[in-house]
């Protein structure tokens, strides 16, 4: 019994650290200033979804389904708080959280197919989701595709996703300007 409690506490602590890294990477200013992601609640949500996709996919591949679920729950707890801080009342929160969860699961599926597909497919996915409310330049979309592919490659490298994130090496820095290489 105590072992299960300790395991759950350790898993929650790891998930909190992973969540912090996801949010920190999602808030890197270059995404908004140079790569054209709208600096809005929706744009920030899309960036969290992208980085959550990278981490959750790696955790599940590593057989860390329980940690992935704990992280998933923390992400949605954070979304709940953000919606409440934005002034949405209790009556609509549950419905909105369910919609956000469906959206995240949809993003995970399409990003996975985009990674496996050609750049044109990934560009379509990014324009439909991340850039839905803005009109990015081709250079911004290309730079974001380069970032997503490099971030996925970095996440796939190494011994385990948990170790990569603990070392702070899982996420590559995005290009500071649209013409720069990521890495």
Q: What is the pLDDT of residues 14-39, one digit of tens each?
A: 999 999 999 999 999 999 999 999 99
Q: Rounded CA gap, 84 and 116, in Å?
A: 37
Smallest Cα–Cα separation from 112: which of 160, 156, 170?
A: 156
**What is the model's pLDDT at position 89?**
63
176 in helix, strand or coil?
coil
Write out residues in the chain with pLDDT < 70, as ranges: 83-84, 86-95, 159, 161, 164-166, 168-170, 176-183
Domain boundary assignment for the chain: 2-167
Rounded to whole angstroms, the Cα distance separating 75 from 55 reads 12
Rounded to two decimals, the pTM is: 0.85
Q: What is the DSSP letter of 183?
A: -
Q: Return the half-sphere exposure (C-beta side, CA atoms, 13 A cut-off) of residue 109.
A: 6
DSSP secondary structure of 10-45: HHHHHHHHHHHHHHHHHT-HHHHHTS---SSHHHHH
Q: What is the pLDDT of residue 6?
A: 86
Contact 131, 141 (CB under 8 A): yes
Exposure b/e, 88-105, CB count within 10 A at least 16 = b: eeeeeeeeeeeebeeebe
DSSP string over 47-72: HHHHHHHHHHHHHHHTT-HHHHHHHH
- pLDDT at site 77: 81
């Amino acid at each position: 019994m105590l072992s299960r409690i300790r395991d759950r506490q350790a898993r929650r602590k790891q998930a909190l650290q992973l969540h912090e890294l996801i949010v920190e990477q999602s808030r890197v200013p270059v995404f908004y200033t140079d790569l054209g992601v709208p600096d809005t609640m929706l744009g920030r949500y899309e960036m969290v979804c992208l980085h959550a996709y990278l981490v959750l996919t790696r955790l599940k591949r590593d057989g860390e389904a329980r940690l992935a679920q704990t992280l998933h729950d923390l992400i949605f707890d954070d979304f709940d708080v953000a919606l409440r801080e934005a002034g949405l009342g209790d009556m609509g929160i549950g419905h909105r959280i369910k919609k956000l969860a469906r959206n995240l699961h949809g993003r995970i599926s399409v990003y996975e197919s985009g990674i496996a597909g050609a750049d044109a497919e990934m560009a379509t996915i990014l324009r439909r989701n991340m850039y839905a409310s803005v009109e990015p330049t081709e250079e911004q979309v290309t730079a974001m595709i380069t970032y997503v592919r490099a971030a996925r490659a970095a996440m796939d490298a190494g011994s385990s996703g948990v170790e990569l994130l603990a070392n702070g090496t899982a996420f590559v820095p995005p290009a500071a300007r649209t013409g720069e290489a990521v890495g």
